[in-house]
Structure 1
């Protein structure tokens, strides 16, 4: 375990989760990622504001009604910031939030250098975070287990809907999804649920939430006594919660439809998420696994360039996927308030014209489709 992970884990113990206990037990018992996968993916109507120059590109604020209808009124309207390059648009990644990442600024700053490569970002605000946070909730510490389930379900459905909107309404021919830690796990699940080829780059992801609460530095964050009913011990309620969390696993879903464009970025000395979880996702998908020589915290401080490179490589590999060609929806990108030409959607190169760099030569391991865990 990296020393920074241990120090950071001790520092955040004051923010206890689940102070209201389980919440709606029926909702918790019904949580099932396969049921979410089978839910009809209805198109979303993203309402965009006029663009402004920021973060080295054009930023637009967007809102849409969440496909997750069980959310409280404060969280029903999803918020997203769209960051696009002023020139050619090669693709767009949906960026999902890590635990505690309530604003947009950190992920927008992470996405800035990718604009020079023609790669934009759609940064989603989680339900129960930021402007979507209930009044009684302190910072990111959700009040109940049911709230946590709803946040994960909403992020899953909203992320999946955003991928389709970017492709069909915005006209981006190449789309992807990424995230760090909790955002990495949800990015893996969103990428697996997409019915068309997408670039999937989960960074430091857990395979399922129980592994983080079982042995990592966050195992003391839940308010375990508040989850125990009369006559229950903390140990029994701990096992009950871990068993429920284990059902929300990446391995419950199939591999992405084009796993060649999936790259799992692991953190070798992680004290929050077991590195074995990252290996498990890659093996389940038959996808490439890249290790960072870092812990959970130090990876963010020192290895963002490697994370961005994985995103670029995954997006480039989509050129070999059986993608249907789509006519760019340039009117969706036009903004009269900004005196600049609308970003052009980059045409996919033909087989002969496609760059043959080292990234394209990296293919997934010889073991193509290992049995599911």
Structure 2
């Protein structure tokens, strides 16, 4: 049995079904899609959260080598759409892990960690990611609890299994605005440069957060794509969705059908950017990395052959010889290629050292 089939079987037999209540309240869906027109634009989205948005630190613990903070703030999304966000998710909870002593007074790098599917509470991201980053690179971490997860889980929800399709949109909207709150808080506290990361669904949410921040930020999405739709429609989770229920609701309630049609019309406005990405991937795969490498090596060889011919011609002229070096020995080309590669690597190393020196003076992340 392949891993893919095993994954499907595991999902089908062991895990609770997703979206057991269907699409969600159609009125709430309508409000969500109207608000989406604001949040998908970075300029209008950024204005939704003020730079002095209130954040409260409620706990502080110190260890031998680190400081742990816990904080809370009202999710801006619940402020704008209070009836759509479950009351348990109205307040965002987060944990901060800081070094006791920063290597530099001017550089205090901080990374926000988004949760993957089912990653509730802080311990997993703290143990696997935050602590190693702190120990190895003196990078602080902010671990944000997802809406519908952990302390923010609705009482009628089983574990981290979302009850409605609309909950996915609520989760994404909450995390985008909550990330802006945390980025602003980091700036007020003197932390930076800033980064955001996540695994799987967390990587997708990290991408949404980074796209909503208009200032320089490091983005490291791990094992994620540009959209989460394929995971639900074609991936392993597709086996855990009651498609018959969704189809029945869609056909029996005209409001669902009308809203879906309207969504499609709105999405068409963004197709220019979407198609640009598709075209890039198509062009990239049309010429494989091996082909690109071969072309570069060929061009470099032709250039080196020309250079060797010129050099050798000069030597022959000096010895009053009229013969030409048209059939250059391949071993000479190979030796010259190796020399050029070493020379280029040395130059690149010098350039990176220069930028690294500049980054330390300007408060930027090391390049390597």
What interval of TM-score do these two structures reach, taking the shorter chain for normalisation?
0.5 to 0.7
1:34 Cα deviation after fit: 4.8
8 Å CA contact retained: 1:210, 1:246? no
- The structure-2 alpha-carbon separation of the partners of 1:97 and 1:74, relative to structure 1 and needing over 3 Å to count, comes to same
Report the RMSD for the aligned CA atoms in angstroms.
Answer: 4.0
- The structure-2 alpha-carbon separation of the partners of 1:83 and 1:160, relative to structure 1 and needing over 3 Å to count, comes to same
Residue 102 of structure 1 aligns with which residue? 120
Residue 22 of structure 2 aligns with which residue? 21
The structure with the greater share of residues assigned to helix is 2
1:163 Cα deviation after fit: 1.5
Residue 173 of structure 1 aligns with which residue? 192
Q: C-alpha separation between the residues in 1 aligned to 2:133 and 2:200?
A: 20
Mean Cα deviation higher: 54-63 or 118-127? 54-63
**Structure 1, unpaired ranges of 5+:** 256-275, 284-316, 322-346, 361-373
1:65 aligns with 2:64: no
8 Å CA contact retained: 1:44, 1:161? yes
Corresponding residue to 1:153 among 173, 176, 182 = 173
Q: C-alpha separation between the residues in 1 aligned to 2:192 and 2:158?
A: 40
Matches within 5 A, 1:181-196: 181-196=200-215
1:86 aligns with 2:100: yes
- The structure-2 alpha-carbon separation of the partners of 1:245 and 1:142, relative to structure 1 and needing over 3 Å to count, comes to farther
Residue 230 of structure 2 aligns with which residue? 211
- The structure-2 alpha-carbon separation of the partners of 1:50 and 1:20, relative to structure 1 and needing over 3 Å to count, comes to closer
Which of these two proteins has the greater Rg computed from alpha carbons? Answer: 2
- The structure-2 alpha-carbon separation of the partners of 1:72 and 1:50, relative to structure 1 and needing over 3 Å to count, comes to closer
1:320 Cα deviation after fit: 7.0
Residue 228 of structure 1 aligns with which residue? 247
- The structure-2 alpha-carbon separation of the partners of 1:243 and 1:98, relative to structure 1 and needing over 3 Å to count, comes to farther
Q: C-alpha separation between the residues in 1 aligned to 2:201 and 2:235?
A: 13
8 Å CA contact retained: 1:33, 1:252? no
1:74 aligns with 2:113: no
1:122 aligns with 2:146: no
- The structure-2 alpha-carbon separation of the partners of 1:192 and 1:151, relative to structure 1 and needing over 3 Å to count, comes to same
Aligned residue pairs, count: 268
Residue 137 of structure 1 aligns with which residue? 157
8 Å CA contact retained: 2:22, 2:249? no
8 Å CA contact retained: 1:178, 1:201? yes
1:226 Cα deviation after fit: 2.2
TM superposition score normalised by structure 1: 0.62
Q: C-alpha separation between the residues in 2 aligned to 1:320 and 1:81?
A: 33
Q: C-alpha separation between the residues in 1 aligned to 2:204 and 2:173?
A: 12
1:162 Cα deviation after fit: 1.0
Q: Secondary structure at the match of 1:183?
A: helix
